Structure 1
């Protein structure tokens, strides 16, 4: 453990009494916060952060970096939008960090903006659509913004689909890797017939009786009833072994 490493800290006791405190987001070394210390000086830094957030909404470190950047650069409207997007993604979770951010940024917010954020955090039953945001918001423009966020998250989940990953492996003739992905996917989601069919086709195409029997044994132990084509392939492989 590096005992010389500096921590990103927040003076909780002084926030409420000194909302004008300029150094709330200040760090002694921005290199501890940014992958590249020069990023903060780049004119395209904010644009890149917004792009990354839109692509991966749940990556909270990029939200915090965006808030920090806007605060340091005195981009007050963009700061409000960044905080709103952060709260939308948290969706009433992470109350401690939410309050820190809102109170720490109070000196850069209009009274109306601060009251909107404060009211949202104080009311656990508040509809997330109350966060109006502004022209710089990514996720907060009413239902349109929320739906955009949901669609992006669903898109991310879709790219992690074992069938899509396996098909990518097959495209590059990485058949063993494709089998492994499908086998793991089926054990997690045994009800997915599309995964079973694709794996069946691979076993049949490659004549991989060893992996077929290993997988069939695992599925049988789980009490999963296999389709007739799996049973037929099982008999086929057994016949080959007997003839051999």
Structure 2
């Protein structure tokens, strides 16, 4: 994908309300910090970004990836929604990067959209929850839910996400039981994924869940799944703990 510098560099010489003299909207030097350019051609990439933001709203890098993707894919309404969601999460913090993104995206926004974003940043008392969104926004009021928005983006089955990544998201938020359920299901469906087996075993050991471990080991044995050596090691570990009282 060829990226034109003219789409990236934006000056703000005539915008007195912006504190930035020159706004570089994701310059070519920044691309490698976000992803490889080839990523932009993945058909379900925007959907994945939307779901990641819905699950982890404060992960700002994902917001920036979404803005950048929409800008270069000429998805102007989705771009406006991405900026609104980003400003909503920042809630008046990060003024410099907020101005940078708004000024960089100005050429893809209509006058009403640009004025709404600009006026929101200028008004220190403005309520982020009242930011005007559209059908692609995630966090503003009265709009489509995430699942409906994804169906609008692409009318096909929702993409399949890596169960290991999903389980780690649960673990990050201390949702250990949910993580176990995801990994247990994945081990049975994708027995060749050794990384999933390792993650599940680590979770059994860290939570001292000998009952859940024994049930899953029995299920894997009945299903004829080839297990890694660590299953035997953890089995011996739990037996030793039980024998010691």
Structure 2 gap ranges (5+): 1-7, 146-168, 184-199, 209-237
Q: Which residue matches 1:41?
A: 41
Q: Which residue matches 1:177?
A: 206
- Give deviations 1:112-150, integer Å, cap 9, x for gaps: 1111111111112211222121011111135997xxxxx
- Give deviations 1:161-185, integer Å, cap 9, x for gaps: 377489889x969665226xxxxxx
Q: Distance in 2 between matches of 1:88 and 1:26?
A: 20
| 1:15/1:104 contact within 8 Å kept | no
Q: Distance in 1 between matches of 2:125 and 2:37?
A: 40
Secondary structure of the residue aligned to 1:92 is coil
Q: Distance in 2 between matches of 1:158 and 1:125?
A: 37
| 1:71/1:108 contact within 8 Å kept | yes
Q: Distance in 2 between matches of 1:135 and 1:144?
A: 6
Q: TM-score, normalised by structure 1?
A: 0.53
| 2:92/2:124 contact within 8 Å kept | yes
- Give deviations 1:20-73, integer Å, cap 9, x for gaps: xxx943533675034343211223222222122122211111111111111112
Does 2:46 match 1:17? no
Q: TM-score, normalised by structure 2?
A: 0.53
Pick closer, same or farther for the CA change 1:66–1:112 going to 2, 3 Å: same
- Give deviations 1:57-98, integer Å, cap 9, x for gaps: 111111111111111122111110010010111111111111
Pick closer, same or farther for the CA change 1:109–1:29 going to 2, 3 Å: same
Does 2:79 match 1:79? yes
Equivalent runs, 1:210-225 vs 2, <5 Å? none
The size of the alignment, in residue pairs, is 164
- Give deviations 1:216-241, integer Å, cap 9, x for gaps: xxxxxxxxxxxxxxxxxxxxxxxxxx
